[in-house]
Structures are given as structure tokens and as C-alpha cells.
A and B are shown apart, each in its own frame.
Chain A
Amino acid sequence: MQLSDVVVGGIATTVPFWPLLAFVGLGLVTLVHRTPRERTVAGCVLWSLSLSLIGSLVTAVFMLSHHQDVLMVDVGPWFSTGSYTFELSFLVDRLSVTMMVLSSAISLLIGRFSVNYLHREAGFTRFFLLLALFATGMMLLVEAGSIDLLFVGWELVGLTSALLIGFFHERTTPVRAGLKAFTIYRLCDIGLLLAVVLLHHYAGSAEWVEALGEWAWPGPAVVMGVGPATVLGLCLVLAAMGKSAQLPFSSWLPRAMEGPTPSSALFYGALSVHAGLYLLLRAEPLLQRAPLASGVLVAVGLLTALHATLVWRVQTDVKSALAYAVLTQVGLMFAEVGMGWYRLALVHLVAHACLRCLQLLRAPSALREVQARHAASQGVKQPTVAVGHHVLPESLRQRFYRLALERFALDVLHEQWALRPLLWIGAWVDKAERVWVGVVSGWTPRSAESKPLESGHGAATEPSGGKSTGAV
């Protein structure tokens, strides 16, 4: 039994490792030598993903057959600062093993699909490298034993997501869309970063089992004050909202459909878009302690679902329609998590990921499907399923139609309420700095010389404020 634990722990550890190996190996070959043949690239990545899947399945079977709920795998120290050591550890429990199987299975499927789909495409190798890197990131994310390691996976997922949105980098729209997604990711990562720091601060450890308790998932509420739990919870909610494109950050999701169809299916149908939910499910003991954060979740989720279902019904292209259909369900899942229905949310997540993945892969068939239905019903028009908007009075309906068509003008609002003020503050700080330097250097030159520390301090902080606005 003891031995088995160790072996299975080892197997679980290798799950994120295989795709990483493929990425590094192929990446190095491509970097120093020349691009390998399609067959080699696809073969390497598919093998690594298969090994990942096998590892996940073995782990899952072991957990099921041994009725083991939690398995902690300590790989070793990661790095240490002073007296504190960051541990590299994996946590395998019902939640993460479900997600491991789902993620590795879907990654493998998408990899297999892409062999034919991307055949002879100039970016073939790039695509598969990013796929392997994404798989690594996703596995790290779901298997991470600590929030620190989760952060690493989180960032890898975000990075590959942005790079694949901009896969066709010879056109400007995909690159812009990728940049937009990346910006919103980074903005919301502030939440995760804060959560990392705060968790260390409040719980004294970033290990999930130490901070949240070693319970079978879903576990009871964490032992922590309501205040800290609420702050932490809200930080995590912010992080999850960005990754899962909840209101008001949802405008990047439809734009993300610029990449090749399989990557859209993988990221925005199946896995990446659910990563935020996974984070919330993982931190569920915290949320139980933080009714405010849960309330925010319900509100955000329901609003997103409502908004998305309104926008979905006016979309005229297949991929945008799917993007908003995804948002509708993810919004519902957010609400479920907020209500404390964690098991339901997990089942919903798995089912939804499979469904959307298949639907997105079949997106180019939409025309034939409509034609087939039309012919089979002998041209009889079917009543529409989407009846919700008919309850609106006529005058409101016109109002809402435009809102929906323009996707609630989220882009414009972002620009007006976030970007402009930020730029304005940047400009103001810049001006203030000039005035300040003028004051310091021009009016009282002697005091400027005598206070080099102060002016140096000002110069160090103020331009950085300006720079961050420039990047947005």
C-alpha cells in the first residue's frame, strides 16, 4: 500500500512532465538545427500527450479502486528564500484527478485532430510546440499542490492562449485579439498574485492542504477569519473572472476565435476557459467562509449568463455564437459555485467542456447541418428555441437588440472607463513629475543637490507609473 502510493505519486508527477519534455526537446531541435518533419513533430507531441493521459488514467483508477481521496506528492524543494522553502508538490484528489483526465484526454484529441487539420501549414511546428506547452501548463495548474505552482501553470496557459490567438501573425486582427486577451489576463492576474501573497500571509503556507485543510474534496470551510477569507476569496474571484471571461471582462472571448479551429476548441471550448472555475473549486473551503465572495460569484455569474445569452442570439457567425454559448454556461457554473453546489459545478464543467469541444470542432459543418435540418423538415420552419427576449416590451426590445449586437459596448466602456483614466493619470503623473523636477531643480537648486535620495526616489517610481499605462 505504502509502496503503491509512492509509485502512483511518481506516475502522477510525470503527467505534466511528458509534454514539457516534448516541448523542450522539439524546441531545442528547432532552435539549433532545423524544423523537423511534420511526422516527427506530431509523433513526439502525441506520444507525450498519450503518456500524460495514461498517467492520469492510472492515477484515477488507483484513487478509485483504493478509495483514496487525497494523495499528496512531495517532489522536493523548489527554491528557498532565507528560512522559508517553497515546496514543489502535487495534490491529487477527486477534483484534480477528474481535471487531469479531462485535460490530458482533450489535449490528446486536439493533437490528433490537428495532425490532419494543420497539415502543410507554415506554423505546424509552432502550433504543436504551443500545444505541448499548454498541456504542461494545464496539468501543472490542475495538479499543483500549492498556489505558487498553480500560478506557474496559470501563466503558461495564459501565454500559450495569447500566442495561439495570434497564430496567424501576418494579419493584424489576430495579433490585436491576442494582445487584448493577454492584457486582460494580466490585469486579472493581479488578483491571483495578491491571493498568493495573502495566502502566505494569512495561512502561513501556500500548500493547499496546509492552508485549506486535508479533506476529501469538497471539503468543509477553512479555519480562518471571515475577513481574510473574504479578501482572499475576492482576489481569487477576480483572477477567475479574467480567465473565464466573466463580465466585465468578457469581450476578449469572442475575439479569441481568430486562431485555427482546434486551438479555439481546446482553449475556449474546453479547457482554458474553465481554468478560472477550477481555481474557485480548488479554493472552495475559502469561499465557504466568505459569503460576500460567494455572493459576488453568483451575481457575476448570473449577469454574465444573461448578458451572454442575449448577445448569443444576435450573433451571425458560428464561432462568435459558440463563444457566447460558452459564456452562458460558464456564467451558470460561476453561480453554482457561488451557491455552494461544487459537485454539480464539476459535473457541469466536464460535460460542458466535452460538448463545446465537439461543437467547435464541428463548427465548419454548420451550413450542412442547417441544410440537412431544412430538408428533413421539408422546409417547415421550426419554432425558435430562444424565446427569452420575446418577454421584453417592443420598445425595450429595440434597445436591447443594439446592445446585444454591439456586445454591450464593453470595448468602448473599457476604453472610456479604464484605458482613458489610466492614460490620463499617466499623463498627469508625467506632468507632475516635470513640475516637481522643475521645482526641485529650478527653484531651489541647492536643496535638489542636498536631497539626491528624494529626487531619485521620485524618478524611480513615477516613470514606472507612466510605463504601465503605455503597455495597456
Chain B
Amino acid sequence: MSHPHPSPHGTPVDRGQHLHQVLEHAAHLLPAQGPISVFVHHNTLHAFQHQPFHEAVEAASAVFGTEGYYPEARFRELYQRGRITDGDLEAALAERHEGQPVVELAPGSLTLREVEQLALRHAIPVETAASLRWKLEELSSARRLRPDVPEAARTRLLRRSTEGLRGWMDRVGKDWTMNDLAAALLGPSWKPADLSAVARELAAVFGGNGSLPSLRERLAKEPEVFAVSALWAACRNPLLTPETPEAPAPETVRSHRDVLRDITGEDPSDLVNPHLIRACAAYLDEGVSHWPMPERERGLFAAWRTLKLRGSGVLPHWLSGLHEELEESERRGLSAQDTVLAALDTLGVPQEKWEAYVVRVLLALPGWAGMVSRLEHNPADRAPGAPPAALVDFLAVRLTLELYALRDVAKRRLEYTGPLSRLPSRRVVHERPEEEGSWRFFQLAQVAGLSAPEVAALSLAQRRTLLTWLESFDELARRRVWQEAYEHRYRTEVLHGLEQNRQRPEPLRTVRGARFQVFFCIDDREEAIRRHFEELSPRHETFGAAGFFGVAMDYRGLDDANHASLCPVVVTPGHEVVEQPHPEHEHLAQARARVRALWARFDHWLHGGAHSLELGWLLTPLVGLLSALLLPLHVFFPHPVDRMRRALAAKLVPQPRTKLASLRDESLPAPQVGKPRGFTVNEKADRVAALLDNVGLVKDFAPLVVLLGHGAVSVNNPHMSAYDCGACGGRHGGANARLFAEMANRPEVRARLRERGIHIPAGTWFIGGLHNTTTDEVVLHDTEDVPQSLRGELEEFRREMDKARALSAHERCRRFESAPSRLSPKAALRHVEERAVDLSQARPELGHVTNASCIVGRRALSRGLFLDRRAFLVSYDPSHDPTGSILERVLLAVGPVGAGINLEYYFSCVDNDRYGCGTKLPHNLTGLLGVMDGVESDLRTGLPRQMIEIHEPMRLLLVVEASIATLSAIYARQAPIRELVGNEWVQLVSVDPETGVMTRFTPKGGFRPVAVPSSKLPVVATSTDWYRGHRDFLPPALIQLAQPSGSSVPVVGRGAMPSVQGESIHAAQ
């Protein structure tokens, strides 16, 4: 161990406080994911967000033992597939060497940049002595060129080498002997021998009889063997040693467990974890078990101690003595903190290393430790009356068990029985081959096309320099460059698209005399449906706003048991809203509640009964025969079964009309306890005005303005809430849209708005609704209240939206590998509906899987541009925002949310096993808190593999239509923005609203112009024409924009439109 001396004992109070701080700090490094019923995306490396991205990734990898980028092999594969090009690598390298002069070895020879290019494209892995021997002896690597040497380099190398070798052979007999030639061809280890021995050796390698004429003949025939052999010889003469900086590895604290695992190969945690997991799961359980742990209210450690002391059981051999220890502990009334302190002393951890040590211990089971810590800091995540969670309790149990496990492993494997504080430590040292430097130089020479004579001509210093260039561009640096190049590729494509789109005449891209105005969430998944809806008519206008539409509230629907906060997690709502039945439907609502309660009781008894012995003996045979019917139906016909279920529910359960109780009398004082119910007229006007201001819709209202929140519904999916609306705190946003529409329709509110300069004409009506992103179903609320004069328009809207949602489903289906490749939009809609209700479907929808950019600005910037569902689209009108205050508000909301989603996908994708939660297939729901792999694993946090399979991990490209001055001012004012942008967690590009000039923010040099190719983008009649037949990512394309001319617009090139009837768009209730 690195700390053999027992710690100096401070006073107990000091030590306790210190431990408390240590745990506070350590908790930051644990996963912050809460109970899985509400899944909110956040930056997985939030604890490192104060550091620049690349440094943070490196630091986190060191702490967690994770990968921060794709492996190089994966990047090379992407390069082969054309997702990264030479130009991107060039640009990324240029940025790396920005401001430094071009370093060249000798005129016309390799430059530093070229060496790095080669190192990127060709893997030169680090070899151990054994692997090097394998390559030389079994793979003939000293006789054949690497298979990945480019054709040009290969030809050049062989030509030069053959010329040079002929020269060498000509020298034999002049200033060289055969022995000299053999040494040049076979390497410096050549021992001078007599002529016949030389000939024999040469013949063995090159064929022929080993004489000079024979060698010449062989050289002409098979130049490769000669070239490679001579090159390997030249590289070893003299042997090069890589000048690796001998910086000792940073002093990392290793726990006893790490030490023992490294030495013995047995992980003491394998003994501890099953016990700890079972105790934790039983303690934290929120309703799976039917017999809760006794004395939970006393805290985990005390409850566990009592359990072990009062309960019957048999301790495994390695835990013998635990009972006595716990008895003593109970007799002396030791708390969890005392136990931890005593354990740290036993382990001999000095006080200054507590934090690092505790982190190591907690990270042995990060999911459970993280859940305990999360519940400790956010008690609101749990039901009232749930037992208290405390990290110190967890640590106390862990350390108590771990001491036994450590002693046991040390005794069995090392026969060490002394105090743990003096456990001997050993580090495994990897043997490095002495030819390492030469070997790596040899590899470089091959891919660079350097021949043996050329290498021989280089001075030792020059060779050293080349090798140093290669070595100093280590794996981490290479992967950074790959990552930057990857991002460069996408950035260029999108900016090129935006630039080309901007060059189209403005009237084409803006809507005049809008017929329908539809608000969607900024979500990347809504990009497709917005585009398709707009393609249907030049008079369709859409906006993007965070899906809670500025209405933060604690909402309780008619069917809900509790209030839930519908707003981003950083906001605490100040108001409560309840869905109530219409007065004349009161009785229906009561009947509904009764039926539902009855069903709940029935289901509860059925569920528990079939599991238990008390009722199971009777229920199992009865229910079992019923399920013999259900089982095949569920598996073979999920869609019809679901329809029948819904129809049955609609028949049996009364559907009362409802309204939102949202208006509060201004004269009433705020309640003493709890939150005010509903909003006053003023508060309503504030919210309506804020949203309309944000998106820039303050005049030219269409007759129908529709707001669509979104949510997702799927079955058999513990991660369902990860598909929901992040702006609504991982829930559905339909209620927010409904409430907003209700507010904006109120005459009093409109009157207040007029005072603020927003004139909503009397002929305009707002409707709220919900877009189901899994099934592309659109449900509109409160359509009975729509004025008679607008009923026709409403019908027309439904028809148009039906077309758009079918096309949206169609576009999504191209990305599902399991969806048929040729589907009509109508069939596509059926396909996605089936995915949502299919028990066997591990991928109900795509989620945010393709997210990569966020465009903040007028829709005119991106209208008519195919963005492949990859962009968050935020409506913002810079012409209404001279001071930048609106933009500031928008960015503060959008930046963290977008970056959180993007980075969670990023990290779950680059290291799915550790940042993500691996494949869904063995997942097992535990305590209603999270999922385990199988029956006794850590709680798995992050996203499952099924959610990130087709993701491209890249940092969010934030394109903002605002001047550099405005953005700089916001950057200076707002620390959260500065952290994200300045530390490069997102890439920021400014599009000047006046000139359209694009500049990219770099932390080193501020805003800099972006070079965008001037080539024309393909123009297609419809989105469908562009994506038809393609399953992979598609670059942007321009979609033909039509001049608005009356209401019916002929659309060029579209096939027969599906006539999906409006039956599935229907009012709720």
C-alpha cells in the first residue's frame, strides 16, 4: 500500500466532520441518475463540467476507468465508410497545430503534420516482447509490407528500395564485402561468417543460391522481401529507443481491493457485493417486496446490524466473527460514522487520503452508491415515509464486509494474516521489447513509403525526431483529433446546408398569411414532422419552443394519484393545476374513479395472488388457463390486441369531459400551506407573452394556432421515461400545451396582452395537444370549445396533420433495421403503432439517437432544409430582440437541456458498458428504482445499448442566429453558458442576422469565420425523394419551396398521398 503508516488520530469531532466533507465530495463522482420512473437526461460527466471537455474526459477516464472517445479502430472504420474524410482530418490537425510553424525535417521530407496524418490512418499498436516476437516470427512482419500501406507509398517504396539495393549490390567487391551486404539486408545482429555461410543464410531468406547474381535476379523478381528486410535492418542500425517522457504515473490512491485484485486475480468485491446488494435492495425497495425490511427507519447500517443480530441465518466461512463484531458494535452503540472511521484506521488510510480512498471504495459499486447518495440529497424523489438514505450508512456496511473479504483473500491467496494496513503492495510492470523504438520507426517508414536507403541516409538525430513526433502523438491525442474531425464533418455539412438555404430568396422561406401555426417542442424528433407539415403547404407555419411552453406547474390529471412537476428539472413550479370534470359530468367522473379503483383492486389481487401461496394455489390454475389464450395473442398480434383492449376500456370506463382548474382570483391571498392553485390573469398574460415573445410571434396570427407537447408510450420498457419530454421533467407535455391554449384563448388575458402590444385577433383560436413520438399519434384537447366558424379549419388541420404524421412515421422507419424497407406512409404508421405495443420490441422508437445540432433562430433559416431529424429547432427572432435579453433567456433554457441530452447520448455511446447500462436483454427491475443485469449486479445507469446503436457521438453544434456582439455579451454575463461553451462541451456558431456571416467560437481565439464549401446542394421536390431507399445518415438537401398561391398548392414530384382518415386524431375525452 502507498500509505503504510497509521493515521494520526485527531479529535473525534474533527474526524467526523472531515469524513462528512469527504463524503460530500465523493458523492459528486457517483452517477446522479434518480429512480428510473422519471428519467432526465443530464451530462454524465457533470462533475467534471468545470474543466475543458478533453481534459474532463481524460480525468474522468482516470477516475472511472472508462473510455472517453470511440476507439481508434471504430474511427478508422468511419473513415473507410466516408463519415470522416481527409479534409476533416486535415482541418482537425490544422486546429491542433494552430499558430505553430510547419516543422519539417529536411526540405522535401516528412513534416510533423504528415507524420501525424499517417499515425491517424495506420494503427501502430504498442507491442509487448511476446507480441513483437509473434509478429516477426509467425506473421513474417520483417519480410512483408503491412497490408494497409497505401498503393502509392508501396510503389514508391519498392521502386526506391530496388534502385538503392542495386547500388548496394554493385558496391560488393568495391568497398563492401558480402558480409557487409548481408548485414545491410539482414540487420545489425549479423555475425561475419565465411562466404558459403553467408550465401546459405541469404538463400534461406531470399531464395536462389545466395550468390550475388542470384540475389540480383531475386531482387528483380521479388523486390518486397528485399525492401522490407533491408528496411527493418536499416531501422535497427542503430537501435532506437523511444524517448517516452519518464514522468512517473501520477500518484493514484489504490484501495486494498485494487491491490489484492491486481496481485491475486481474485476480486474481494465478488464476496462483498452479493451481500451488500441484497441489503441495499431490501432497504431501499419501494414496493416490489411484500414484506419490508424491519427497522428500516433507523437507517441502513442500524437496520442491517439488527437484521444480522436478530435474524437467523448462517454466515459464510469468510464472514466468521461478524456476529461478535456487530454485537460489540451494538452494545457500544456505534454509529455508521464511528464504524467507517474505525475501518479507515484498520485499513491504515491517512486522513489526507480519505477522499481518494473512499471514492475508490464507493466506485466498486457505483450504481447502488449513487442511488443512495441521490436519495439522500433528493428526498423528494421518494414516497413520503420512505426510510432515510445516507451514504455514510452504505459505506459503513460496505467497509464492515470488505474488511472480512480482504482478510480472507489475503489469507487464502497470499497467506498473509498481518494487519491490513501493512498489506504488501506490488505493481505489475509490463516488459517492453528492446526493439520497440526501431519497430515503431519501421512501421512508420513503411506507411510513409520510406525505403531502406532513404532511412540509412537519415541521421540518427533525424530518426530520433521522427520517432519523437510519432510518440508524442499518443493514442489519446489521436482520438481527440479523430473526434474533432468527426465533428468537423457534420458541422461543415450543416453549415453548408444553412448557407445554401439562406441564398434562396427570403419570401420563399417565410410564411405570409399563415393558415395554421403549429408549435412543437424543440426536440430533434419533431424536426421531421415539422418539415413534412410545412412541405404540405407554403401557408403552414411551425415554431419550436421548449415543450413545457413556459408554463411550469405541478399538475394532477383526472387519473393521477399525485401532482407531478411539468417543467425542466432546474425549475421549481410555483403553481398547482388540477384537471377537473365539467360540472355536468361530475357523476361520470365519479363513476370513472370507481371503475378504475375497482380495476386496481382486482389487478392487485390478481398480481399478488398469482405469486403468493395464500391465494396462488387457487388462482394459478384459473388465471393460467386464461393466459394460455392471452399469451399467443400478445406475441403474435400485439397491435389488434391493443386496439381491442383500448376499445374495451373506452366502453367500460366512462369518459367525462374535463377542464383545467387554472384561474385564480387575484384578490385571494396566496395559501398559507402549499402552492397557489391556478394562475391569476396577470400571471397568465405573463406566460403567454413570454412564449410569443421568445419565438417572435407577436403579429400575423393564423386562425388556428396549435401547440403540441410530446410524450412517448411503450410497453415492457423500464426506460420508457427516457423517451419523454425533457423540458417537462421526463413526462408528457400535453397538459402544458392544453393549459397554454386555455390561457391564450381567455379574453381577459388577450386584453392584457394588447396592453403589451401583442394583438391576438378575435378570429384566432388556440388548441393544445399531444404528439406521441412513438406512434406519431396526435391528440387535440378541448376541441369542443372551438368556435363554430373555425370547425371547418379544424377538420382541415386534422387532415393535413394526418398526412404529416404518416410521413414522419415513414421517415422514421428508414432508420429501423427491422422495419421493411419499402413501406407506404400508411403502412409505416401501422408499423410504428405496433412497435409501441409489442412486448418483444426492445426499440419502441429512436429517441434522441441521432441528435447532433441545435439551431436557434428564425425558421426562415432552416425552412426547406432536410436536417435528418438531427437538430433541435428553437424559434427565436433576433429582429424583436435588440438587447439580447430574449436570447439570453432562450439559451439559458436550451443550452443545458440540449447539452444534457447530447452528452448523455455521447457518453453512453462511447462506453456503453460503463457510462451506459449495456444491453437491455438481461435487465431486471429492482425495487422500482432501476435495473440490474440479472439478479445481483450493480444498478445500471445511463442509456441501454438499444438506444444508442446508431448514434454518432459528437458534441452538440449550437447554431445561433445572433450577432457576435450579442453572443459575446451573453457569454460574458452568464456563467452556465460560459461553462458549456468556453469549455467546449458544445460547439457554438453564430449566424449574423443581417449579413449571414458564419463564425465559430473557439476558446483560444474567440469567434472566427467558418469556411463553408460553395458547392450547390441537391434540390429535391420532397423529403421523401431524398431519403427514399437510404437507411444511413443523410447530408442536408434543399427541398423545393413553392410560392404561396391561394390555399391549394400543387406539390411537385410527390406520389399518391396516403389518405389517412382523421379517426386517430381525436379529442381527448
CB <8 Å contact, A351 and B628: yes
Residues on B with C-beta less than 8 A from A370 are 287, 928
- State which residues 297-345 of A face B: CB under 8 Å: 305-306, 308-309, 312-322, 325, 328-329, 332
Residues on A with C-beta less than 8 A from B902 are none
CB <8 Å contact, B925 and A367: yes
Could you say which of B596, B631, B634, B920 has the most chain A C-beta atoms within 10 Å of its C-beta?
B631
CB <8 Å contact, A121 and B313: no
Task: Compute how far the CA of A375 lies from the CA of B605 in the bound complex, rounded to whole angstroms.
Answer: 16
Residues on A with C-beta less than 8 A from B933 are 168, 171, 173, 258
Residues on A with C-beta less than 8 A from B616 are 309, 325, 328-329, 332
- Does A203 lie at the interface of the complex (its beta carbon under 8 Å from any beta carbon of B)? no
Which of A116, A306, A355 is the one whose CB lies under 8 Å from B624?
Answer: A355
Which of A385, A404, A413 is the one whose CB lies under 8 Å from B605?
Answer: A385
CB <8 Å contact, B597 and A380: yes
Residues on B with C-beta less than 8 A from A174 are 922, 934
Task: Compute how far the CA of A120 lies from the CA of B818 in the bound complex, rounded to whole angstroms.
Answer: 9
- State which residues 193-241 of B face A: CB under 8 Å: none
Task: Compute how far the CA of A146 lies from the CA of B934 in the bound complex, rounded to whole angstroms.
Answer: 37
CB <8 Å contact, B310 and A399: yes
Partner-contacting stretch, out of B7-15, B288-296, B736-744, B1028-1036: B288-296
CB <8 Å contact, A109 and B716: no
- State which residues 118-164 of A face B: CB under 8 Å: 118-121
Residues on B with C-beta less than 8 A from A400 are 311-312
- Does A201 lie at the interface of the complex (its beta carbon under 8 Å from any beta carbon of B)? no
- Does A405 lie at the interface of the complex (its beta carbon under 8 Å from any beta carbon of B)? yes
- Does A88 lie at the interface of the complex (its beta carbon under 8 Å from any beta carbon of B)? no
| Closest chain B CB from A102 CB (angstroms) | 9
CB <8 Å contact, A109 and B922: no
Is the contact region of chain A dominated by helix, strand, or loop, or is it mixed?
A: helix
* Contact count A vs B, C-beta below 8 Å: 299
- Does B98 lie at the interface of the complex (its beta carbon under 8 Å from any beta carbon of A)? no
- Does A416 lie at the interface of the complex (its beta carbon under 8 Å from any beta carbon of B)? yes
CB <8 Å contact, A362 and B839: yes
CB <8 Å contact, B620 and A105: no
Residues on A with C-beta less than 8 A from B623 are 351, 355
- Does A117 lie at the interface of the complex (its beta carbon under 8 Å from any beta carbon of B)? yes
Partner-contacting stretch, out of A19-27, A182-190, A386-394: A386-394
Q: A350-B628, A354-B627, A373-B603 are in contact. Are A332 and B635 (CB under 8 A)?
A: no
Contact with A along B588-605 (1 / 0, CB 8 A): 000001001101110111
Beta-carbon nearest neighbor of A328 in chain B: B613
- Does B576 lie at the interface of the complex (its beta carbon under 8 Å from any beta carbon of A)? no
Contact with A along B841-874 (1 / 0, CB 8 A): 1110000000000000000000000000000000
CB <8 Å contact, B935 and A320: yes
- Does B715 lie at the interface of the complex (its beta carbon under 8 Å from any beta carbon of A)? yes
CB <8 Å contact, B614 and A362: no
**Considering only CB atoms and an 8 Å cut-off, how many residues of chain A contact the other chain?**
102
CB <8 Å contact, A363 and B312: no
Task: Compute how far the CA of A328 lies from the CA of B615 in the bound complex, rounded to whole angstroms.
Answer: 11
- Does A464 lie at the interface of the complex (its beta carbon under 8 Å from any beta carbon of B)? no
- Does B462 lie at the interface of the complex (its beta carbon under 8 Å from any beta carbon of A)? no
| Closest chain B CB from A268 CB (angstroms) | 11
Contact with B along A247-271 (1 / 0, CB 8 A): 0000000110111111000000000
**Considering only CB atoms and an 8 Å cut-off, how many residues of chain B contact the other chain?**
94
| Closest chain A CB from B286 CB (angstroms) | 9
| Closest chain B CB from A240 CB (angstroms) | 19
Residues on B with C-beta less than 8 A from A314 are 282, 289-291, 293
| Closest chain B CB from A251 CB (angstroms) | 11
Partner-contacting stretch, out of B468-476, B554-562, B566-574: B554-562
CB <8 Å contact, A386 and B628: no
Q: A317-B925, A354-B624, A405-B282 are in contact. Are A116 and B818 (CB under 8 A)?
A: yes
Beta-carbon nearest neighbor of A170 in chain B: B913
CB <8 Å contact, A366 and B288: yes
Task: Compute how far the CA of A151 lies from the CA of B716 in the bound complex, rounded to whole angstroms.
Answer: 37
Which of B294, B632, B840 is the one whose CB lies under 8 Å from A401?
Answer: B294
Task: Compute how far the CA of A350 lies from the CA of B316 in the bound complex, rounded to whole angstroms.
Answer: 39
- State which residues 422-453 of A face B: CB under 8 Å: none
Which of B620, B634, B925 is the one whose CB lies under 8 Å from A348?
Answer: B620
Task: Compute how far the CA of A352 lies from the CA of B283 in the bound complex, rounded to whole angstroms.
Answer: 31
Which of A347, A350, A361, A409 is the one whose CB lies under 8 Å from B313?
Answer: A409
| Closest chain A CB from B139 CB (angstroms) | 23
CB <8 Å contact, A317 and B935: yes
- State which residues 271-329 of B face A: CB under 8 Å: 278, 281-282, 285, 287-291, 293-294, 306-308, 310-317
Task: Compute how far the CA of A171 lies from the CA of B593 in the bound complex, rounded to whole angstroms.
Answer: 47
Q: A258-B934, A328-B616, A352-B620 are in contact. Are A398 and B311 (CB under 8 A)?
A: yes
Residues on A with C-beta less than 8 A from B717 are 364-365
Task: Compute how far the CA of A254 lies from the CA of B936 in the bound complex, rounded to whole angstroms.
Answer: 10
Q: A113-B839, A315-B288, A328-B612 are in contact. Are A352 and B624 (CB under 8 A)?
A: yes
Q: A113-B635, A400-B312 are in contact. Are A415 and B317 (CB under 8 A)?
A: yes
- Does B49 lie at the interface of the complex (its beta carbon under 8 Å from any beta carbon of A)? no
CB <8 Å contact, A402 and B310: yes
Residues on B with C-beta less than 8 A from A173 are 933-934, 936-937
Task: Compute how far the CA of A416 lies from the CA of B313 in the bound complex, rounded to whole angstroms.
Answer: 13
Residues on A with C-beta less than 8 A from B37 are 367, 371
CB <8 Å contact, A386 and B949: no
CB <8 Å contact, B312 and A402: yes
Residues on B with C-beta less than 8 A from A359 are 610, 627
| Closest chain B CB from A110 CB (angstroms) | 8
Residues on B with C-beta less than 8 A from A402 are 307-308, 310-313
| Closest chain B CB from A392 CB (angstroms) | 10
CB <8 Å contact, A376 and B289: no
Cβ-closest 7 pairs across A and B: A402-B311, A351-B624, A385-B608, A379-B561, A309-B613, A258-B934, A376-B600
Name A's B-contacting residues (CB within 8 A).
Answer: 105-106, 109, 112-121, 167-168, 171-174, 177, 254-255, 257-262, 305-306, 308-309, 312-322, 325, 328-329, 332, 347-348, 350-355, 357-359, 361-380, 382, 384-389, 395, 397-406, 409, 411-413, 415-416
Inter-chain pairs besides A348-B621, A386-B290, A406-B278, 15 sampled, C-beta below 8 Å: A116-B840, A120-B817, A313-B290, A314-B293, A354-B627, A363-B924, A364-B920, A370-B287, A382-B604, A386-B612, A398-B294, A399-B311, A402-B308, A405-B293, A415-B317
Sample (6) of A-B pairs whose CB atoms are under 8 Å apart: A167-B922, A308-B613, A314-B289, A320-B924, A376-B559, A402-B311
